[in-house]
């Protein structure tokens, strides 16, 4: 069973998206104090006594460090970091410009690096902490038109496993999640043929649900003995090559 989570502090990046909103609600419902950071100021996140939201571009080192310091100053610690911030800029590699390439790598991968680095000092001092990186099945199989996204999400897997080896001695856990294809803003404009293909790839012949994914992530966040793992949450079956 997971340990007592009451009044623990979780920092969720990309909290304005579909999965981010579900994560914020789930952790708050379990009694966590939730720092929900968003990338853009135009998005509203409902706040309660346990939810504190603010804008913080994850690819800006100074803002990330300042954001982590604000959370620690307010609540004393960051027990769990969920690196959920992500963007896409799809297109065939032959036509992908450097701006789209850099943006996707910066938000999805550099952002996770900066946020992880920002929380490690306090986690190492307390000899406790958990970092959860939201990766993607695209890291495992690739996806046409998503070379930048697949590269970033593959990088997250490498980051997860390397960092887990580095910080295990400090009792810090690091894991990656493949949440599956979710009905969020990121997939809203995909052609129905693409969504149908994703559905057929799942042996249960259905896509995943943000609420269920959030429930699983919150449960894993409270477990003590899992680290360096890639946890896939849909029903697609494929081998690493």
Hey, which residues are catalytic here?
149
Nearest-angstrom CA–CA distance, 157 and 171: 20
Helix boundaries (H) for 95-209: 98-105, 111-126, 138-141, 147-167, 192-201
Q: Which CA distances in Å does 45 have to 104, 133, 217, 222?
A: 24, 21, 20, 24
Question: What secondary structure letter does DSSP report for 31?
Answer: T
Q: Which two tokens stand for residue 99?
A: 């701006």
Question: What secondary structure letter does DSSP report for 33?
Answer: E
Q: Which two tokens stand for residue 125?
A: 């001092």
Q: Which residues contact 237 (CB under 8 A, 6 or more apart)?
A: 203
Q: Which residues contact 16 (CB under 8 A, 6 or more apart)?
A: 38, 39, 40, 43, 45
């Amino acid at each position: 069973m997971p340990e007592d989570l009451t009044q623990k502090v979780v920092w969720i990046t990309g909290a304005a998206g579909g999965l981010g909103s579900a994560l914020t609600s789930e952790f708050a419902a379990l009694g966590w104090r939730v720092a929900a950071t968003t990338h853009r100021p135009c998005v509203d996140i409902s706040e309660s006594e346990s939810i504190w939201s603010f804008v913080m571009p994850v690819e800006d080192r100074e803002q990330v460090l300042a954001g982590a310091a604000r959370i620690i100053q307010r609540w004393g610690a960051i027990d769990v970091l969920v690196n959920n911030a992500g963007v896409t800029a799809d297109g065939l590699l032959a036509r992908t410009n450097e701006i789209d390439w850099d943006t996707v790598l910066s938000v999805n991968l550099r952002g996770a690096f900066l946020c992880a680095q920002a929380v490690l000092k306090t986690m190492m001092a307390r000899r406790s902490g958990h970092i959860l990186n939201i990766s993607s099945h695209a890291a495992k199989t690739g996806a046409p038109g998503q070379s930048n996204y697949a590269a970033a999400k593959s990088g997250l897997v490498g980051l997860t496993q390397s960092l887990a080896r580095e910080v295990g001695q400090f009792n810090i856990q690091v894991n990656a999640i493949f949440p599956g294809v979710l009905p969020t803003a990121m997939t809203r404009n995909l052609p129905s043929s693409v969504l149908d293909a994703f559905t057929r790839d799942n042996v249960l012949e259905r896509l995943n649900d943000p609420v269920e994914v959030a429930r699983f992530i919150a449960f894993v966040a409270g477990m003590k003995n899992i680290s360096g793992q890639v946890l896939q949450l849909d029903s697609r079956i494929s081998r690493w090559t």
